[in-house]
Amino acid sequence: MDQDLLKNYPDITEILNSDDHKGVKINKLQKMLLDERAIQRAATESNMVADEEAGSSRLQVLEQILDEYGVDTTMVEDGKAATL
């Protein structure tokens, strides 16, 4: 992971640099990923903000880090239309 890019996300860097076990780090990062997806979904559904403002860069960073840990970040909802 590009350290310059991580400077923009001190909370992610804090998790990566912690003394926590790998599994604990993964759990924390997965929770952040789910939260970011929810934020992005809400923002894009409102059609009021650009993708950059909806957290897409942060989402990509989290996905890349988890991928480096060997975690599959695809979810059932990926690529599916919203249901009501």
- Tokens for 29? 């990062």
Distant-in-sequence, close-in-space partners of 82: CB < 8 Å, separation ≥ 6: 41, 45
Residue at 55 is within a domain: yes
Assess whether pLDDT exceeds 80 at residue 23: yes
Helix (H) or strand (E) holding 63: helix 56-68
pLDDT for res 71:
93
Q: How confident is the model at residue 5 (pLDDT cuts 50, 70, 90)?
A: confident
**Assigned domain for 83 exists:** no
> Dihedral sign, CA of 31, 58, 56, 43?
positive
Flag whether pLDDT at 66 surpasses 90: yes
- Would 10 be classed as within a structural domain? yes
Answer whether 37's CB lies under 8 Å from 30's CB: no
Mean pLDDT rounded to a whole number for the chain: 82
In a domain, 78, yes or no: no
- pLDDT (mean) for 38-61: 73
Torsion of CA 12, 22, 36, 65, to 10 degrees: 70
Question: Does some domain include residue 29?
Answer: yes
The whole-angstrom separation of Cα 80 and Cα 82 is 6
Number of domains in the chain: 1
For residue 76, tell me if it sits in a domain: no
Q: 51 lies in which domain range?
A: 3-68
22 part of a folded domain: yes
pLDDT at 27: 95
The answer, yes or no, to whether residue 16 has pLDDT greater than 60, is yes
73 falls within a domain: no
